[in-house]
């Protein structure tokens, strides 16, 4: 299972998808993808994906978030 959320919304509100190919997003928008439901610790780093050509592709960048 994958938890997918727009980068602008942060990782805390996400859509649940069984496969990355099941996700339909906006062309050119950045998304954050995680595999675990739990977000452990106060500081998290998650990979960024971009929606291009009808699928999510990994950008090689990471987003860092601080959980209060």
Residue 56 CA to residue 24 CA, distance in Å, equals 9
| DSSP state letters, 29-68 | -EEEEES-S---SSEEEEEEEEEETTEEEEEEEEEEEE--
∠ CA 2-41-46, nearest 5°, is: 40
The 8-class DSSP code of residue 14 comes to -
- Domain borders along the chain are 2-66
Residue 54 phi/psi, 5-degree rounding, is 80, 10
The per-residue pLDDT string of the chain (68 residues; one tens digit each, 9 = 90 and over) reads 999 999 988 877 889 999 989 999 999 999 999 888 877 777 888 899 999 999 999 999 998 888 76
- Predicted pLDDT at 61: 94
- Predicted pLDDT at 4: 94
- Predicted pLDDT at 50: 96
């Amino acid at each position: 299972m994958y938890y997918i959320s727009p980068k602008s919304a942060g990782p805390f509100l996400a859509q649940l998808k069984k496969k990355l190919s099941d996700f339909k997003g906006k062309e050119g928008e950045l998304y954050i993808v995680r595999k675990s439901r739990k977000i452990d610790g106060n500081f998290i780093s998650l990979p960024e994906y971009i929606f291009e050509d009808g699928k999510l592709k990994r950008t090689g960048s990471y987003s860092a978030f601080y959980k209060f």
